[in-house]
Chains A and B, each alone.
Chain A
Amino acid sequence: MDDLRRADHDSAAEADADADVSSVDPAILAGIVAKGPQPVLRYLFFLIVVRPVMLVIMGMNVRGQERLAERGPMLVVANHNSHLDTFALMTLFPMNELHRVRPVAAADYFLRTRWFAWFSIRVLGIIPIDRDVRRGRGHPLDPISEQLNQGAIVLLFPEGTRGEPEQREPFQRGIAHLARRHPDVPIVPVFMYGLGKALPRGEGLLVPFFIDAYVGERLQWTGNKDTMMERLDTEFQRLADGARVPETF
């Protein structure tokens, strides 16, 4: 269980968020979480705001998109450099699949104010999880399992934090737990490059760059957490090595 515990805090703002989370009335928060995503709002937000930004302002070069063609349940894991990563991943799926696509996000950060919680849950459609298990009631992976059982396409950033721009952090082992719980659900690794330049952590100014997304081979539960993590890591390294990443000097 403790492998789910966050290695470090994203930023000072996020560290403060731990305190903030209690400032939202738990009853109201529970109400928002229980309602879940608002399908129409969500559809319109992605159609009018997210897609134009990701496809026109940014632009995506996707390799291996056909590996995402099947329906859920599916677990998509990606490296994490920017707030836009989630939007980039969600843009990989057609609009008529949008209702199935659910990003996993840290409750302490995304539910830290009432308005932000409403937006994260109702419009973005996140599955909130507790990064700090001490606070959690029940197993922190339960909400994800529930969605996978309903055939959702779950997006997960196993690095757990956005980290330094365009640098990979070691994967947290929560992903292996999930694989064991759902041995039949395929895990699709996606390596992305570009968003760490376009909107890195701590920056508010979006600078357009093309995003490269490399969709890897599907993986399945290997029967052992260590080998699972190893396979995932190997496949990710293969994708990252095959990606063309411009030199930074």
Chain B
Amino acid sequence: MSLAAMIPADPEGWFAHLTMEVRAVLLAVFLLLALSSIVSIGLVWSRPQHDYRELRSRVRTWWVIAGLVAGAMLLSPLAAIWFFAFVSFLALKEYLSLIPSRRADRRVLFWAYVSIPIQYGWISGQWYGMFIVFVPIYLFMWLPTRMVMIGEMPGFLRAVGTLQWGVMGTVFFLSHAAFLLVMPVGEHPRVAPVWPSTHTAISAGPGLLLLLLILTQCNEVGQFLVGKSIGQRKIAPAVCPTTTWAGFVGGLLITVLISAALGPWMTMLDLERSLIAGLVVAIAGLFGNLNVSALERDLGVKEAGSMLPGHGGVLDRIDSLIFTAPVFFHFVWYCYG
């Protein structure tokens, strides 16, 4: 199925590639944001002695993030794919700016950037085979080979290792979120898709991506809120003092519940598959969060950057998503691909 074929020949005007459910969820996200803005402004008014600047800038940044994601999704699946390519670029740049590096490797790092348009090019062309092998096979052979050609040997292993870890997360893992947009359903899937509407059957991608984004975010918020209110025992005290077992379980329950509610309604996932999807997102989200925290610990920084006021850097924002995207994708791909 080609990208163009996913969009009906204009039965419903603009945004025809988005089902009514997806549009409703996007609208709900913005209503929720409006509510957060009202609450945060109300807090500033009612309790002037407190400093709510952090909260205000956090909410404002959320408007920008949600606006960009929704805008790209509304524009077209292709626009959304290249929006993710841009996020990969920002995240990789942030990573490469933080890590120790060798001067000699400038040109190697350049190739790491070049891999981004190539990887998202496979996605735009719906070439699953290249999408899945390009980074782990071809790129991971080329990057060290390019280093060898420059000829600087001291620190070679360390330089290759740190570079490839970053490319794996910021480019390869994250690009799975974009592939959801064009993921075709196989002719003989292991699990029969349950289409909530014919429109969903024509345009399944945006619903899957939106489900992933919402589950990932709800898991983060759930983990944080539950962990803050009842959490005691920390999962990894050396890495992340705010992540507790209670928070993890609480976040997991919330994520699974939301997945059960949204999955069957918005995507081809049935109830069982939706429950499992919520489960894997909750676990992978925790792993992603802990891994990026560990990275920041090791590098001696509190946040990966300052691009997103109130959130830190791009890496801080997408830490869970980097891990949930491939896990969610491969779960759906295994069932329906």
Chain A residues within CB distance 8 Å of chain B? 59, 61, 165, 194, 197, 200, 203, 205, 207-210, 244, 246-249
Contact = CB atoms under 8 A, between A and B. Distances in A.
A59 B101 contact: no
A191 B313 CA distance: 21
A197 B106 contact: yes
Contacts of A246: 97-101, 299
Nearest to A244: B301
A62 B58 CA distance: 18
B300 interface: yes
A22 B96 CA distance: 44
29 contacts: A59-B305, A61-B306, A61-B307, A197-B103, A197-B106, A205-B107, A207-B109, A207-B110, A208-B93, A208-B113, A209-B96, A209-B97, A210-B94, A210-B305, A244-B300, A244-B301, A246-B97, A246-B98, A246-B100, A246-B299, A247-B100, A248-B100, A249-B100, A249-B101, A249-B102, A249-B154, A249-B155, A249-B158, A249-B159
Nearest to A212: B97
B69 interface: no
B90 interface: yes
B interface majority secondary structure: helix
A194 B102 contact: no
* 3 shortest interchain CB distances as A-B pairs: A247-B100, A210-B97, A209-B97
B101 A197 contact: yes
A246 B155 CA distance: 15
Interface of B: 89-90, 93-94, 96-103, 106-107, 109-110, 113, 154-155, 158-159, 299-301, 305-307
Contacts of A209: 93, 96-97
Contact of A205 (B98, B110, B300): B110
A248 B102 contact: yes
Contacts of A203: 106
A165 B101 CA distance: 13
Contacts of B102: 248-249
A205 B113 CA distance: 13
A242 B109 CA distance: 27
Of the listed residues A200, A208, A247, the one surrounded by the most CB atoms of chain B closer than 10 A to its CB is A208
Of the listed residues B93, B107, B110, B305, the one surrounded by the most CB atoms of chain A closer than 10 A to its CB is B93
Contacts of B155: 249
Nearest to A209: B97
A207 B106 contact: yes
A60 to B, nearest CB: 9
Given A209-B97, A246-B97, A61 B305 contact: yes
Contacts of B113: 207-208
A249 B103 CA distance: 8
Given A208-B96, A248-B100, 14 more contacts: A59-B90, A61-B306, A205-B107, A205-B110, A207-B106, A208-B89, A210-B94, A210-B305, A244-B301, A246-B98, A248-B101, A249-B100, A249-B102, A249-B159
A247 B113 CA distance: 21
Contacts of A165: 103
Contacts of B101: 197, 246, 248-249
A28 to B, nearest CB: 38
Of the listed residues A59, A197, A200, A203, the one surrounded by the most CB atoms of chain B closer than 10 A to its CB is A59
Contacts of B93: 59, 208-210
B97 A194 contact: yes
Contacts of B89: 208
A200 B93 CA distance: 17
Contacts of A248: 100-103
A246 B98 CA distance: 6
Nearest to B94: A210
B171 to A, nearest CB: 14
Nearest to B314: A59
Contacts of A247: 100
A65 to B, nearest CB: 11
Nearest to A211: B97
Contacts of A59: 90, 93, 305, 307
Contacts of B307: 59, 61
A95 B94 CA distance: 26
